[in-house]
Structure 1
Amino acid sequence: MDAGSRSISSGKSCAAAQRPLQEAGSRPYMPSLSTRNPSAKCYGDRFIPDRSAMDMDVAHYLLTEGKKDKENAAASPSKEAYRRLLAEKLLNNRTRILAFRNKPPEPENVFAADTVSSHQAKPAKQRRYIPQSAERTLDAPDLVDDYYLNLMDWGSSNVLSIALGDTMYLWDASSGSTSELVTVEEDNGPITSVSWAPDGRHLAIGLNSSDIQLWDTSSSRLLRTLKGVHESRVGSLAWNNNILTTGGMDGRIVNNDVRIRDHAVQTYQGHSQEVCGLKWSGSGQQLASGGNDNLLHIWDVSMASSMPSAGRNQWLHRLEDHTAAVKALAWCPFQSNLLATGGGGSDRCIKFWNTHTGACLNSVDTGSQVCSLLWNKNERELLSSHGFTQNQLTLWKYPSMVKMAELTGHTSRVLFMAQSPDGCTVASASADETLRFWNVFGTPEVAKPAPKASHTGMFNSSFAHIR
């Protein structure tokens, strides 16, 4: 509160209120106290006019009688004509104010036309049509109804792989043909996980016996079998260039360099139960792992490489927000540090994470078990597949998480989803033993050619002498 306000509340004298100005050496001219009106009140540094010296009767006469005298005075002819013209043209025709009689002339400058057209509002983008039924349905007999497994993947060569019991099938999306790659021995089966290498030619298969097989699908040839990596079944696989990361029921996560004989180069130990979800980020710098222990871990390559001994068990983030198994994992294609995760039946939530800080950005209760998640590569959308009770696919708008569509047709939980290389078609596999294809992410404007097999030579030379 300033000095003037304090003088009002404390009731100090007028001279005391002016003392700070005197001390500052800039005292303004003020009349002496003897010349002031005795009835004037002191309000510190505020000036409030006092009308006690005004003659109110004279003021009232000047405001009323003087106006009547002016009205009675004869107006000059020129003023009367101006008043009449003003009333006729303007005051009685107010609707014409700021209105054109005709359209304005077209601009003569050719550059002006270009400027106008360039600033015209762009037409609103039409909402994409989302078919409510699958465009194709295939039988998938003997599909294992197990939430913790990962039995389907769509490779960069546009070939879908799906494990049905002990047999691995390949469906070529370009021709629509189906072929059988391998039927494993009963003692090793069933197949528990599958993942395409980045080249779209080599396929990794995890088995219930804890073995991992590496296949060349172009020649249907078994190239290598990794043994002793895990103590029990291998339910999750993820590639990061030449590194094949495997997750087992023993809770271990192992990085395997397929180019060398001693392939196990790194081990992450953070889960106490089965690892059911593994996904590398697009940059290949971070690995997300989800387990049946309701835990989500973020592992960073730089931490492991800088601390080769301590980094074996060191995670970047240990996230405990989910209340059920964490299987559904999806890295965002347009924001490298954004991860979406889904929880099992007693959790039912989709959560979004900043993997740099470990912060949970949002959590959405979907009302049912979240089995898998896929991002739209062309739009800010997320697709989730669910279990009990609706067994549906739900398309969400990100980040508002408004439901855009719900796709129904499966009669049991939708355990697995895979995305075509162009990012538009989604395949869903359900415990109802059907495989359905949905045109949920639209049609690409320009068809993208399948990437070349850049690692083919590396794989061939690596597996040729290693068994």
Structure 2
Amino acid sequence: MSHLRFMKELNNLTRMDETIKGPTPRWQKKCMETSNLSINLSLNSSKKITSNSFTSSATGKTPTKRSDCKTKKTPSKSTRKSPSRVTPAKTPNGGDRFIPSRATTNFELSHYKILQQQNEQNGDKANISPTKREMQRLMGENLHGGDINNIRVLSYQVKAPAPPEGYQNPLKVLYSQTKTPASARASTRYIPQAADRILDAPEIIDDYYLNLVDWSTSNILAVGLGADVYLWNAGTGTIEQLFELDANDYVCSVAWIQEGPCLAVGTTEGNTELWDCSQMRRMRVMNGHTSRVGSLAWNSHILTSGSRLGKIVHHDVRQRDHLISTINAHAQEVCGLKWSLDGQYLASGGNDNMLHIWQSITGRNSSQPIYSFNQHQAAVKALAWCPWQNNVLASGGGACLNAIDTKSQVCALLWSGNYKEIISGHGYAQNQVTIWKYPSMTKVTDLIGHTSRVLHLAMSPDGTTVLSAGADETLRLWKCFQMDPHKKKESSDIKSVASRLKQSIR
């Protein structure tokens, strides 16, 4: 009996008089979708559109028997697609594609260019004589009315439809970068474009070669205004007058010692005075120059001063005979002095456009510079050593590692301790304070507010605020290096963990 059942199933499968069951043909599915679309359009429109007329208008041809929707059965309700999925998306000009026009396409030119490309790939162009090649070029220009390299192969009747106003491509995210560059991430922090605070600085001397502003580690700002020196406590906001010079004398430079309340002041008489600002009294007067002292720099207990005659003097403030050494460093006035953070090197800049690097006075041949640079085109006043690389020096006008043309006079330079950036003060034409990214030296932002050139810059002890002193007799505080509170918390956590490890080791 089993073999009879098998033969019966085999006969049923091989019969050709019944309808073959299988997936619905593609043309039938297309007809069903067109029929459903026509039904939906007839319900939503006041005009009656049959499936035949819709198909004819869409294709521009009389529908054949195979695409005739009336001869096919209407799909059941369960198999119909929703109108929202069938209705095409609307675009500004009624189409979502840009199809070239075959009527205006130059097929002869296309064929000619294809043959020309094939000859170049096969190497036949090298065997053609220059005369024949020139003839082919002239024939192409005469036949096609110009240079064939500038003629399009495909031709379009109308321009591509323009997107509507305010349209944003949702697929743009697919082609964007997955990782943001470090420079873009760093520049996304908020930098206030207006000064956080403005202080009056009457009678500040508009002299490029002087250094009249310095900010101590105890958060006290010293400013030289004419013959007076004023102290501003940034924490409490109190202002005190330290002293006043004689009528014929004025302050040329001020510099705080690294640790302590001692302030050094250079005058026009060639003297360098030391003041104890905690007791508001003068401790001593040190000579050594016969002209004004326009620059000062501390290296522990060693105070270095530079004068208008180009002389550099090292003073040991602990000794009665304070003069240690004297160097004839520059041909003109010394307007910039900076010791490196490790105290090994001294950078001096002068009005003779020279920049010298001197070894510490404890080293050999300290009377001769170990490096000299003559690339500057103006007086070298702006000097700043990198806080995280002791051998990197930034100077106004140029540098060994990189140089950037600021298009204006560079009056002062500072390094940021919170970010790898440099801030510079400038003169004409914008009188701006500019922040630069290091080492790429790309501009981060400009801080504009002064109406005259920026003469001096100073950094707050916490490294978040920069003070700029301008010839417009104003002091402006810019909070441009504030730390992210999340990063600050992470760094404090790391420091606390490190301190715990040290204690456990001990």
Q: Same fold (TM over 0.5)?
A: yes
1:238 aligns with 2:294: no
Of residues 110, 129, 154, the one that matches 2:190 is 129
User: Separation in 1 of the partners of 2:235 and 2:257?
Assistant: 19
- Mapping 1:222-233, distance limit 5 Å: 222-227=282-287, 229-233=288-292
Which residue matches 1:463?
none
Overall identity of the aligned pairs, in %: 53
Q: Where does structure 1 differ by over 6 angstroms across 4 or more consecutive aligned residues?
A: 121-124
CA deviations 1:249-281 (Å, max 9, x no partner) are: 011111100000111102222201000000000
Q: Deviations over 1:290-318 (max 9, x none)?
A: 000000000011xx4343xxx35311111
- Cα distance in 2 for partners of 1:153, 1:327 equals 15
Contact 2:308 2:334 in 1 (8 A): yes
Paired letter, 2:415: W
Comparing both structures, which one devotes a greater share of its residues to helix?
Answer: 2
What's the counterpart of residue 224 of structure 2?
Answer: 163
Q: Which runs of 5+ in 1 are unaligned?
A: 1-87, 89-120, 343-348, 353-359, 449-467
In structure 1, the partner of 2:271 is 211
Q: Secondary structure at the match of 2:191?
A: coil
Structure 1 residue 231: Cα displacement: 1.1
Q: Distance in 2 between matches of 1:404 and 1:312?
A: 39
From the superposition, tell whether residues 135 and 295 of structure 1 become closer, same or farther in structure 2 (CA, over 3 Å). Answer: same
**Which residue of the other structure, out of 468, 475, 479, is the alignment partner of 1:435?**
475
The answer for the alignment partner of 1:381 in structure 2 is 421
What is the number of residues matched between the two proteins?
310
Corresponding residue of 2:362: 305
Amino acid at match of 1:168: V
- Superposition pairs of residues 18-97 of structure 1, within 5 angstroms: none
Determine if the alignment matches structure 1 residue 408 to structure 2 residue 440: no
Kindly indicate which of the two structures has a greater share of residues assigned to strand: 1
Residue in 2 that maps onto 1:197: 257
Letter of the structure 2 residue corresponding to residue 371 of structure 1: C
- The residue type equivalent to 2:410 in the other structure is V
Instruction: Name the CA distance, whole Å, in 2 between partners of 1:316 and 1:123.
Output: 39
Kept after mapping to 2: 8 A contact 1:269/1:312? no
| Aligned-residue offset at 1:384 | 0.4
Distance 1:378 1:324 in 2: 30
Alignment match, 2:341:
282
- Check the 8 A contact 2:434/2:447 in 1, yes or no: yes
1:143 aligns with 2:204: yes
Instruction: Please report how far the alpha carbon of residue 388 of structure 1 lies from its aligned counterpart in structure 2 after TM superposition.
Output: 0.9
> 2:464: which partner in 1?
424
Give, in angstroms, the shift of residue 123 of structure 1. Answer: 13
Contact 1:273 1:291 in 2 (8 A): yes
Q: Deviations over 1:213-236 (max 9, x none)?
A: 100000001000012x11100000
Shift of 1:443: 3.8
Residue 211 of structure 1 aligns to which amino acid in structure 2?
A: N
> 1:129 is matched by which residue type in structure 2?
Y
| Alpha-carbon distance between aligned partners in 1 of 2:181 and 2:446, rounded to the nearest angstrom | 28
Q: Radius of gyration: which is bigger?
A: 2
Give the conservation status (yes or no) of the 8 Å contact 1:386–1:393. yes
Offset of 1:186 from its aligned partner? Answer: 1.8
1:326 corresponds to 2:380: yes
In structure 2, give the amino acid aligned to 1:258. Answer: V
The aligned residue for residue 293 of structure 1 is: 352
Q: Distance in 2 between matches of 1:173 and 1:443?
A: 19
Tell me which amino acid in the other structure corresponds to 2:480.
Answer: V
Instruction: Report the Cα distance in structure 2 between the residues aligned to 1:313 and 1:218, rounded to whole angstroms.
Output: 36
> Unaligned stretches of 5+ in structure 2?
1-22, 24-178, 492-506
CA distance in 2, matches of 1:122, 1:410: 34
Distance 1:323 1:404, change over 3 A: same
Distance in 2 (CA, whole Å) between partners of 1:160 and 1:438 is 15
Secondary structure at the counterpart of residue 326 of structure 1? coil
SS of match in other structure, 1:186: coil
Counterparts of 2:225 and 2:329 in 1: how far apart (Å)? 31
Read off the aligned partner of 1:305 and give its amino acid letter: T
Contact 2:314–2:326 (CA under 8 A) maintained in structure 1: yes
Instruction: State how far apart, in whole Å, the 1-side matches of 2:214 and 2:384 are.
Output: 14
Asked which structure has the greater RCO (Cα within 8 Å, sep 6+), the reply is: 1
Deviations 1:16-36 (A, max 9, x none): xxxxxxxxxxxxxxxxxxxxx
Give the structure 2 partner of residue 316 of structure 1. Answer: 370
SS at structure 2 position matched to 1:432: coil
**For the Cα contact (< 8 Å) 2:464–2:482, is it kept in 1?**
yes
Amino acid at match of 1:190: Y
Aligned to 2:43: none
Aligned-pair distance for 1:380?
0.8
State the distance in 2 between where 1:123 and 1:192 align.
45
What is the aligned partner in structure 2 of residue 250 from structure 1? 309
Q: Superposition RMSD on alpha carbons, in Å?
A: 2.3
SS of equivalent residue, structure 1 residue 361: coil
Aligned counterparts of 1:444 and 1:370: Cα–Cα separation in 2: 29
Task: Verify the 8 A CA contact 2:358 2:366 in the aligned structure 1.
Answer: no
The 8 Å contact of residues 422 and 444 in structure 1, kept in 2 or not, is answered as no
